[in-house]
Amino acid sequence: MNALMLLVFDGLLLLGIVSLAWASLASSDDRNSVILFMAFGLVLAVAWGRLMAADVALAEAAIGAGLSGALLLAAVRKRPAQMAAGRANNSHNPDRTGVNMLLQWSVTLLCAALAGTLAWALLDAFSSTPHETLPQAISANLEASGVSNPVTAVLLNFRAYDTLLELAVLLTAVLGILAMGRATAVYQPAGPIFDGLVRWLVPVLILTAGYLLWVGAHAPGGAFQAGATLAAAGVVLHLAGHPRIGLPAGFALRILMAAGVAVFLAVGLSLLVMGRPFLGYPPAWAGALILIIESAAMLAIAATLVLAFVGAFPRSTATRAASRQVREEEAR
Amino acid sequence: MLTAHVMYGLSGCLLVALGLRTTLLHASLLRRVLAINVMGAGVFMMLIAVAYRGLGVPPDPVPHALVLTGIVVAVSATALALALARRLHAEHDNG
Amino acid sequence: MIDVLSSLLILAGLFFYLAGSIGLLRLPDLYSRLHALTKADNLGLGLLIAGLALQAQDLLIAFKLLLIWLAILAASATNAHLIARQARRLESGS
Amino acid sequence: MADVIIWLVAIPLVGAIATLLLPRPATLLVVATGVATSTAAGLLLYSVAIQGALHYEVGGWTAGLGIALRADGLSALLLMMVALVMLAASVYSSAYFKEATQRERFWPLWLLLWTALNALLLSGDLFNLYVTLELLGLSAVALAALGGTHAAVAAALRYLLVGLLGSMMFLAGISLIYAGYGTLDMAQLAQTLAAGPVAWTALALMTAGLLLKTALFPLHFWLPPAHASAPAPVSAVLSALVVKAAFYLVLRLWLDVFADMVTPTAANLLGVLGAGAVLWGSWHALRAERLKLLAAYSTVAQLGYLFLFFPLLQALPPGAARELAAGGLVILALSHGFAKAGLFLAIGVIQQRSGHDNIQQLDGTAQRLPATTFAIALAGVALIGLPPSGAFLGKWQLLAAAVTSGQWLWLLVTAIGSLLAAAYIFRVLGHAFGHRPYPNQPVAVACEEWPALLLGATATLLLGLASAPLWTLLEIGS
């Protein structure tokens, strides 16, 4: 009975996920497509929860659906003039004649073949018993890793080098975005009701971020989930029309952006100089070192994600004029 | 034989193919970015399915860590793509 | 006893979700749709959370669930307000 | 001594952070970083030559649980090439970017790209390779877009989407490998991989993703616009190093990790695509009107030659002949790296000095920019494959292997490709030496002209005349 109910639940969940993905990609309107994609991300988070991947579920909800969704929605947010102009090229009319039809069918066939081949290989892999050597090695060394949440242990100890490079990827993306120097349009100041929400939501988000960071050592959570939550506070502030988004300016902001990679590197290289391997924490200090790295990483992740959303270094002088312009255009 | 990890794994394969199809066929930039993200979600689903060992049984943490890394990399790439697109449109509007 | 009560609460919550979804699809205009959605969702979620809180292992988890409900309550009320205000503005503008 | 491996990744990353935080002395910091990284690369090459292949376990965790970095003869040589090309291009960049804001944006991304290249060449872990590929892809895209023109941004965006698609396919392959074998360490995989659905599908997916990134014909469509519209030093490293990083991974997968699973049909398929690239790329390079576009199409063609080696290596039995062919492949890749970087830097000088890179209007360049014209000629010698360039040795081994294994088709392709290359190089030189009296004095700015000249000379003279130690180094496998 229980197994059957679970099977029905899985089936419905997967049906929902696949149809949301399909609807998002096939929708004729960009904005609908983005909203469906966000829904897809949220349902995906439920699936991760179902598969006992709580860490991933948190990250998916905060980053995959939340921040990606905010970025994408900002990208389809258009001023009225653009909306009218863009409608013509926006509505995607697949050309149903001749060569195009042939192309569509051959690509579809190719993708079906890919799905089939992938499924064939995956089923073959599933047909043998799962490999337990690596999970066993992880639980055997968990004691020495400094944290008791195995996912955090993998991310910040066993495979910490991946995470260092991943922070470098995030930094690279933001440097590329800032080099393009095109900020997203500024939002008008919030009305009293939205402002009321912002007033207590932002502190709660900051508190939640701190909690997620702390709890990551022994339960689902960690720097990435915490950083994304902190970034969400910044995005909310930006949406409410706050020009500075709570970020410092100039040199301090650069330090904040670089903090994740810099602290990670500093810890790794100090250990190297002390005669240990790069990022080879002594077991007694591992917990503390991981917390230091994670705190810096959280701040850097939050700052970079907010900057990625805003698209440029925040400037308070230009914003007033820009927001007035947006308001005028919206009124038109 | 229709166990949970098989169901989720196969759905992951389907999402990969679905994303690839739109990436190759759709002209709109935004849709291609979404499609690549859907493809990524499919790969992540395969990985999480591989890690799954049953309800209440501790799963393999390695794929979870890989997916977390993958999610952050994906959002970085998405943000960069959207910023490049914004620059293109801004130029388009100005001249 | 507690199991029965929490099941009833969850079922009642699901009923409100269903009603809200039907309302979203069937009601004629934006305002009544918003009304159906937020009212039903808040109540539905409240019942759902009450049902889940009865199942909670300790008080801390029940408290966290309550916190989630309050946050969503505030967010959905604000969202409904913002959507409605924007809609009014678009109507008067055109 | 194995510590030098981690320094090769850490130094450029420290440099990137330093230039981000301290933009004012950034040029100085970059030079210091470049010299330190090159020294580390030299030290690694020396250690590998003395001690054999090195490996480093990050965090002290055994490979599999943790991430292992590895360096053998091939990766040490490529790291040395990366260091020399990046160093030369860094010196050139300090003169190329005239405005302080440009340099401020450029340097951190530039050093992040260097970090990515080094990390990729050293990584021994499949998922770590995915992360380094993304770091490489995103930094390359951000740099390619720095020009800021509509064409540059549009090309960079296409480059990004193609790169992401490639990484996703690579990641899908990795997932399958983990599902089937429960490890991501490449050395462990090389021992346990067995022919079957998982290994075949994973190899096909990973190769497809990498071919997209290395722009093998017919997946090359994104390369010419991206490489032709980027700033000159960026074009140089994109063509010389970035596409080659993806090629290096194909080589690793096909010759090391999945070596037992490669069938002659699969290797022949790569050879045919390579032949297509040689002919298509050379033809378009000949027809190009702009120098940068010529150089970009020439990259498509030169990558094609590298893929011609796959069917040959597959057909040759292990032994001296196969070793020689593999060495030829590496020398060809190295000399193309130096030559193409030199060519792009030289084109950059011409473009900045005369305001265009139109081949028809190059007349008089030889009088105004003699050193730069000479650099183009040196690079051209290597691109055609004339003696004494390293490319000549590489192509010689290609032809020898083709004769030994009786695969005459590749011989014909190489001959036609080389003739076309000679035609497009002499077309440029013909215009550059065209006489047109100029009142101006010859321009000579050491920082601008010397890097191209040195890179061209390395490709043509150093790799050709002093290649003997390379062959011994390449025998040091992992």
User: For chain D, how far is it from start to end, CA to CA, in angstroms?
Assistant: 17
The pLDDT value given to residue B95: 42
D196: left (phi over 0), alpha (psi -120 to 50) or beta: left
B39 vs D127, D138, D168: nearest CB:
D168
Which residues of chain A have a CB within 8 Å of the CB of C76? Answer: none
Neighbours of D287 (CB within 10 A): 12
A71 vs B6, B20, B82: nearest CB:
B82
Give the helix/strand (H/E) hosting D56: strand D54-57
Q: Locate the DSSP E strands across chain A.
A: none
- What is the nearest CA distance from D108 to chain B, expressed in angstroms? 16
Interface confidence (ipTM) of the complex? 0.94
Which residues of chain D have a CB within 8 Å of the CB of B9? Answer: 179
The pLDDT value given to residue A85: 43
Domain, as residue range, for B83: 4-94
What stretches in chain A show pLDDT beneath 50?
79-95, 316-320, 332
The pLDDT value given to residue A326: 52
Q: Are B46 and D172 in contact (CB under 8 A)?
A: yes
Contact D160 B80 (CB under 8 A): yes
Q: Are D265 and D365 in contact (CB under 8 A)?
A: no
Q: pTM for this one?
A: 0.94
Rounded to whole angstroms, how far apart are CA atoms A72 and A68? Answer: 6
Contact C78 A193 (CB under 8 A): yes
Contact D139 A251 (CB under 8 A): no
D153 Cβ under 8 Å from any chain A Cβ: yes
Q: Are B13 and A119 in contact (CB under 8 A)?
A: yes
The pLDDT value given to residue A84: 42
The count of domains in chain B is: 1
Angle between helices D150-181 and D126-144 (to 10 degrees): 180
What stretches in chain C show pLDDT beneath 50?
none
Angle between helices C30-55 and C59-93 (to 10 degrees): 180
Which residues of chain B have a CB within 8 Å of the CB of D164? Answer: 36, 77, 81
Which residues of chain D have a CB within 8 Å of the CB of B8? Answer: none
B50 vs D164, D172, D175: nearest CB:
D175
D60 vs A172, A265, A280: nearest CB:
A280
A125 vs D61, D180, D205: nearest CB:
D180
Contact A75 B44 (CB under 8 A): no
- What is the nearest CA distance from A214 to chain C, expressed in angstroms? 16
Neighbours of C93 (CB within 10 A): 10
B68 vs A40, A56, A72: nearest CB:
A56
Burial track B48-58 (b if 16+ CB lie within 10 A, e otherwise): bbbbbbeeeee
Q: Where are the alpha helices (DSSP H) in chain B?
A: 4-25, 29-51, 61-94
Which residues of chain B have a CB within 8 Å of the CB of D145? Answer: 84, 87
Contact C74 A200 (CB under 8 A): yes
The token pair at B88 is 């293109």
Rounded to whole angstroms, how far apart are CA atoms D253 and A53? Answer: 31
- What is the nearest CA distance from A61 to chain C, expressed in angstroms? 15
pLDDT single digits (tens) A159-203:
999 999 999 999 999 999 999 876 767 777 777 878 888 888 899
Which residues of chain A have a CB within 8 Å of the CB of D163? Answer: none
The CATH number assigned to the domain holding B36 equals: 1.10.287
Q: Where are the domains of chain C?
A: 2-93
The CA-atom distances, in angstroms, between D152 and each of A75, A330, B9, D212, D230 are 20, 32, 40, 20, 6
B88 Cβ under 8 Å from any chain A Cβ: no
pLDDT single digits (tens) D229-254:
999 999 999 999 999 999 999 999 99
What stretches in chain D show pLDDT beneath 50?
478
